[in-house]
A and B are shown apart, each in its own frame.
Chain A
């Protein structure tokens, strides 16, 4: 089982739609969670951190469910510019170096 799993998609949605992605992680002791965005043939960039209480940044809402070991990303009022691959990132507790574990990503395509 992969340490971080994501539905690869693609999610094809019209502009203005609301779309949600989930990401599951296997290590129950994981301590930090993030969403990164990666445009086609570009480098990943941090979208937002995910806090235990949930957090919002404009049209983006991230939530953490420790009991079920998943994090989610909700995008409201999708824009064409939201088309990208969204990477789930988890830092498992290791007692040493805090290695980032990347999911393979979920691809989002927003169409007119």
Chain B
């Protein structure tokens, strides 16, 4: 099925470890996003890529880096994981940035940092 694929689905890290969350979309969308979702809070934008070759910080970028590898793939890297980064991470894509209605989300990565 067409859509957004995230890997891994679950991950447990020790404080200080690093990891990369992978995201790929097959809808030929221009824009891709990384969000985190914490209990009692709305989804918060970490980084986004309005188009291939560009990336920008969102609301909560500290502790993360991203790479727009090509039009399909947008990865999120935690260089030195901290317990505060325990969260559910969603990747999303849209044909164009900020349209709201055309966002497709991946199924999420549940990350626990101990």
A: which residues have CB within 8 A of B? 2, 4, 8, 32, 34, 41-46, 49, 87, 89, 91, 97-105
Contacts and interface: CB of A to CB of B under 8 A. Distances in A.
Contact of B108 (A4, A43, A45, A102): A43
B34 interface: no
Interface of B: 35, 40-45, 48, 50, 56, 58-59, 90, 97-103, 105-108
B101 A49 contact: yes
B101 A43 contact: no
Contacts, number: 57
A44 B98 contact: no
B45 A44 contact: no
B56 A97 contact: yes
B42 A4 contact: yes
Q: DSSP majority for the B interface?
A: loop
Nearest to B43: A102
Residue with the greatest number of chain A CB neighbours at <10 A, chosen from B58, B90, B99, B106: B99
Contacts of A45: 105
A100 B107 contact: no
Contacts of B58: 99
A104 B103 contact: no
Given A4-B42, A87-B42, A91-B98, A100 B56 contact: no
Contact of A100 (B40, B41, B103): B103
A87 B99 CA distance: 16
Given A43-B105, A43-B108, A45-B105, A100 B90 contact: no
A99 B45 contact: yes
Contact of B106 (A8, A43, A46, A91): A43
Given A43-B90, A100-B98, A105 B48 contact: no
A98 B58 CA distance: 11
Contacts of A43: 90, 105-108
Contacts of B99: 98
